[in-house]
């Protein structure tokens, strides 16, 4: 309550955030069922219980909504670095984290696959993703160099980060397709194989 006794006003930003979150969730469901190309903004809006105008009030177009979906639901998988742990132990921890995320993200697999197809078939998006990943790889490589002694990595840090990203992506999608075959031991073993035995 304010001093005059009136009810506190709600900040408009909260409503906008909730609206965007509902649209992103609906987009994930519809794109997961139909793929990116066949998912219409009308159907996404209806699934969210909104109008198409609500979509355009929050996103410029379907592509921007799609990118917001990927950003919200497909965050990089990382684990805190333990200073006293061996590099192999650290890689094993990362493998277990990726295995855990694979189970958690399985219901989003179709939307993630739609994004992969979209990138492969859209030159502008490939360029955008390449530029974005280049910056992310550079930043992660700098951090890795601070935490892993020189000579421990089997590749230069920038290349190693690229390999990690490819390994994570490959294992996730293989798990989505054949979860019975890609056990946690497979995840852990794949990452530990990147660390020379000490």
CA distance 27 to 61: 12
91 with 61, same domain: the answer is no
> Is the overall model pTM greater than 0.85, yes or no?
no
The CATH number assigned to the domain holding 37 equals 1.10.10.60
Give residue-wise pLDDT tens across range 58-95: 999 998 998 898 888 888 898 998 888 999 999 999 99
**Residue 41's domain spans which residues?**
12-72
CA distance 83 to 160: 19
CA distance 170 to 12: 41
**Residue 110 located in a structural domain:** yes
**Residue 7 located in a structural domain:** no
CA distance 89 to 110: 32
82 with 132, same domain: the answer is yes
Give residue-wise pLDDT tens across range 130-184: 998 999 999 999 999 999 887 899 999 999 999 999 999 999 999 999 999 999 9
**Residue 6 located in a structural domain:** no
128 with 184, same domain: the answer is yes
């Amino acid at each position: 309550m304010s001093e005059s006794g009136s009810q506190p006003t709600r900040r408009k930003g909260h409503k906008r955030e909730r609206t965007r979150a509902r649209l992103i969730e609906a987009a994930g469901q519809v794109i997961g069922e139909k793929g990116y190309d066949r998912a219409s903004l009308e159907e996404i809006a209806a699934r969210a219980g909104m109008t198409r105008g609500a979509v355009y009030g929050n996103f410029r177009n379907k592509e921007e909504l799609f990118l917001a979906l990927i950003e919200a639901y497909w965050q990089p998988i990382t684990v805190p670095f333990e200073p006293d742990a061996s590099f192999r132990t650290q890689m094993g921890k990362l493998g277990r984290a990726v295995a855990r995320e694979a189970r958690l993200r399985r219901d989003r697999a179709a939307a993630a696959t739609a994004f992969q197809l979209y990138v492969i078939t859209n030159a502008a998006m490939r360029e955008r993703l390449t530029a974005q990943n280049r910056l992310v790889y550079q930043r992660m490589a700098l951090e890795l160099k601070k935490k892993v002694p020189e000579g421990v990595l089997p590749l230069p840090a920038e290349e190693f980060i690229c390999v990690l990203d490819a390994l994570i992506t490959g294992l996730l999608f293989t798990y989505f397709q054949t979860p019975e075959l890609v056990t946690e031991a497979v995840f852990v073993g794949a990452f530990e194989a990147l660390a020379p035995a000490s």
